[in-house]
Structure 1
Amino acid sequence: MSTNKRFEPLLEQYDFAVERLLTRLAGPTSDSGDGRGVEVPMLTDAEYLWEPVAACWSVRRRVDGPGPGALKLLGAGEWGRDAAPESPWPPPFTTIAWRLDHLTETLAGRASHLGGDRTFERATYESRPDAAGAIGAFREAAADWRRAMLGVDESDYDSTGLTTYPYGSDPEETFPSNVWWENQEILHHAAEIALLRDLYAHQAR
């Protein structure tokens, strides 16, 4: 399938955002902004689950129940992500684990409901309890979403309902709008994760 000029910048932005986040999580180096590679240590399990303030939302053992202010743990398996039926205001502070798991879930879900079998449900999604597993899951979900995007023909770009992802406004939006939304999700959560990594490193010193 070919891509048109309108989609190319969105795809380039997506690739940049995903690669930037992966190198910020797993290294071994990341571009400092001036073309120099800065050494980046691999995210550890302790850092992945670090709760820098009280009442953080995170990824937790299901047997321990949800964290402060959360009413449930999303997904299946031994671990789940803090959640509530309605997003609280102000929003809770979330850990690297919560933010990375949220990104992975949305990417996997959107890939399934655009170019996949459209069977993805949050109820069966499994959160990862460890940093390496979470990074691997994000990498896989990001690749799945990229393949799904490239499978859309440019003649369908302005059609609504290409994706049936049920946890957002995706069915009412055009394809470029769906892509733009996921891009900004990665960009802003990646920036938050990068800041949390910096804070963790500095408090350890």
Structure 2
Amino acid sequence: MAATDHSRSEAAKQRRQDQLQRWLGSETEQTGSETRKTTGGSGTRRAKVQFAQGAVFMAACSAGDREEVAALLRQGADINHANVDGLTALHQACIDENAEMVQFLVENGSDVNRGDNEGWTPLHAAASCGFIQITKYLIEHGANVGAVNSEGELPLDVANEDVMERLLRAEIKKQGELIKHIAVQGSLLSH
């Protein structure tokens, strides 16, 4: 049994060495090395963990912490920061059905038509989740009901509920009529 414990211990030490090797030269190691400090009287060094501002911003938005989000924006955080999948805080707030955060982000300049890596806009997200209130809000604030994702789908195409489909069809019709009206007005003015 002692031999087994010893081999597990050695395997664990080797995995830790492998982790440290991968960590050396990483972005985390490079930014963290500037903030290390010596603690109390023990003389041990503790690394201060730091996260990229975009990650902190996204986490604060997901937590619904408007005060923290506002503070991060004042410090220069990008309201349209996207994660590796292209999701912005607005996408996530739509997915989480956090109407208050959606409103806060839109009021502070979040791009309502920004697509993720798959071309999904916040409106696609809200429509696919069936969140009527958020969908209406996004449309009222300039969300494009004609936005097409990488699969060629409109928000209407990813909607799963009849109420959502009716809302989006009505908005498409309304915007289509508005575009026709503007085109007619433009052609009358040019003659």
Q: TM-score, normalised by structure 1?
A: 0.25
Q: Which has the larger radius of gyration?
A: 2
TM-score, normalising length: structure 2: 0.27
Q: Which has the higher contact order (CA 8 A, sep 6+)?
A: 1
Compare the two structures and name the one with the higher helix fraction.
2
